[in-house]
Structures are given as structure tokens and as C-alpha cells.
Amino acid sequence: MEDKLLVGVDLGGTSIKLAVLDWEGRILLQWEVLTDKEHEGRDIPVQIAQSIHNKLEETGLEKNRIVGIGVGAPGPADPETGVISEAVNLGWKSAFPLGSILMETLSLPVLVDNDANCAALGEMWRGAGKGALDLVCVTLGTGVGGGVITGGKIVHGKGGAAGEIGHIISLPDGGAPCNCGKNGCLETIASATGVVRLAHELLLKNDQVCELSEIFEDRGFVTAKDVFDAARNKDALAAIVVEKVSFHLGIALANIANTLNPDKIVIGGGVSRAGDILFAPLRDHFTRYAFPRVARSTALSPAMLGNDAGVIGAGMLIREQLSNL
Ligand SMILES: [Zn+2]
């Protein structure tokens, strides 16, 4: 299968990332298109198919070298049927048969899974989890995504919603409302949105001048990056936010690690780019709350693939299936 190629698709609410990969998961071609959310997202499969077709035409790559397509989608997925049960970001309010439409349009094997699961596979295959078979991947972006892999296989759960790490309850009483309809989920604290919310809450109560308050005064808002940059400069208010985020994330990861004792918990997404200012207190809290043997054997590692984890993992997904045929 060495000369055969795979296509990985990372379907997001804003853009669709696509890549042609070789059999080892190396990216040969990579491009991105804006997601067509008109008509409640019904045109998305055709858009994906057309975009792949156009790219092959443009580059002269022979279509018959592509042996399969993997797709990561932002919602609970059933890889058996290729159905995404719901994807609010795409306009899919009910079950959407993404896999079967794509298979029909492209006349190629297609496998669909949740985007966070694909990112976890990508990191396992070519990123921070290389060589690990038991891996948990946490993505700290606009929301908090999670993917769990044990023995090299994605854990899907009965309803396809395993690994919803972002919806672990961190604050059972009085937590902020979450997109899922509950309150106090980890996502309301450890996502970029959560970091900003915590900072704004403190800034509105604060009457002292500091780096963060000056940005807030100037611009009317702060970003998660502003918070971590200010914390690096020893800004007291930013430090309170970072402490809160790393505390709740540390407890959640310790509980996950106590359950699974994976080789690694890989942490990616925009917030993870904060680096040591987040990872140092996070490791402290993790070590404090994890079972001692778990704390010694499960490592917390920053993700390595950035935005490419999704397309690489989607390629891995279809490669696995084709290898098992
Ligand atoms: Zn939630």
C-alpha cells in the first residue's frame, strides 16, 4: 500500500481543513476552505467532495492513488454508520449521514469520527503520543475537547460521546452556564472562552491598575493570550486566573488519569500554547491530586501537531480500517 495515498478532513464550524497524506501520515498537500453553512449545512459533503476533486485536478495527482478518506466532525459520531448525531456548529440539528453521502459522492471508502478523537489519533500516530497506545488528548480551544485511546483504539462509548472531558463538572454549585445546557463544566473554566470569562469577572470587580486592567480599559476586553502574557509578567490578577484554570484542569486530569492511567495526557489547542506558565502549575496540581503511582507513570505533554492533528488523525482513521480489510 506504500504508494497509496489517504485524504484527511478536519471539518470545523469556520473552515474545513484537508490534506493528502502518504501511508505513513506525512502531509503531501494541505489546504483549507471556508465551511459552507448555507441550507443548514446540507451542502457540506458536496463541498468536501468538490474541493478534493478540484485539488487533484489542479495538482495533477491521480485520483486512483487515493484509497480512502477519513473525516473528523464536530459532534458525536458513529463510525459504523458514518452518522453525526448532531453538530450545532455546522447547522446539523439532527442526525446527519455524512459518511454515506461522501462515500456515494466520492466513490471511495470513507470513515467518519469525532474531531477530538481524530486529533488524539493524530497525536498518537505522529505527534506527542508517538509510541503510546494508551493516550488521552485534551484540546483547550474555544471549547474543551477530549479523545480517549486505549490499546491503540478510540473509546467511543455506548452513545458515541465518550471522552467528553470538557463536560466534566468542576463546579457543581454556582458554575457558569455551559453550551451543553449544564453549569460548571470544565469547559467554562479551561477553554479560551473560560479564561476570558474568568478574567473579565475579576476585572469588573477590580479597582487596581495592572497590566491586564490597562488592556481591558483600552480595548474593552482581554484575550486568553493577554491573560497568560500578563501572568508571565507577574500580573497579580492574571495569576489568579491562571491558578484557577490550572487547579480545575489539574483535578480533572488527575481524575481521568486515576481512571485510565494512560501513558500520556496530551494537551493541545490554543490555550496550551501558553506553555510553562500553564504547564508548571498544572503539573503541580495534577501531581497533588493523582494517585501516587498514576502521578509517577502518566505524563502530561504539550501537543506537537497543532492544527494538523485533526487531518493527520483522520488519515490514520481510514488507514486503520483499510489495513484491517
Ligand atoms: Zn458542559
Q: What is the pTM of this model?
A: 0.90
Q: What is the mean pLDDT of residues 2-19?
A: 92
In this predicted structure, the answer to whether residue 39 has a pLDDT above a threshold of 90 is yes
Q: What is the 3-state secondary structure (H, E, C) of 39-55?
A: HHHCCHHHHHHHHHHHH
Mean pLDDT (the chain) is: 94
42 alpha carbon – ligand 1 mean position (Å): 26
- Coil, strand, or helix at residue 94? coil
The Å distance, Cα 190 to ligand 1 centre, comes to 12
Report the alpha-carbon distance of residue 302 to residue 287 in Å, rounded: 16
211/129 Cα distance (integer angstroms) = 37
What is Dmax (Cα atoms) for the chain? 65
Please tell me the distance between residue 104's alpha carbon and the centre of ligand 1 in angstroms.
35
pLDDT at site 1: 52
Ligand 1 geometric centre to CA of 268 (Å): 19
> How big is the chain by its Cα radius of gyration, in Å?
20
Residues in the chain: 325
CA of 223 to the centre of ligand 1 (A): 21
Digit-coded pLDDT (tens) for 111-166: 999 999 999 999 999 999 888 999 999 999 989 999 999 999 999 998 888 999 99
- Ligand 1 mean position, distance from CA 255 (Å): 17
Q: How far is the CA of 232 from the centre of ligand 1 (A)?
A: 29
Q: In the prediction, which pLDDT does 2 show?
A: 59
Mean pLDDT (whole number) for 29-52: 95
Residue 7 Cα to ligand 1 middle (Å): 32
Calculate mean pLDDT across residues 58-66: 93
Going from the C-alpha of 255 to that of each of 40, 58, 244, 310, the distances in angstroms are: 38, 49, 17, 25
Ligand 1 centre to CA of 297 (Å) is 29
**DSSP class per residue in 139-162:** EESSSEEEEEEETTEE---TTS-T
- Bridge-based pairing of strands 153-154 and 135-140 is unpaired
Residue 121: what pLDDT?
A: 95
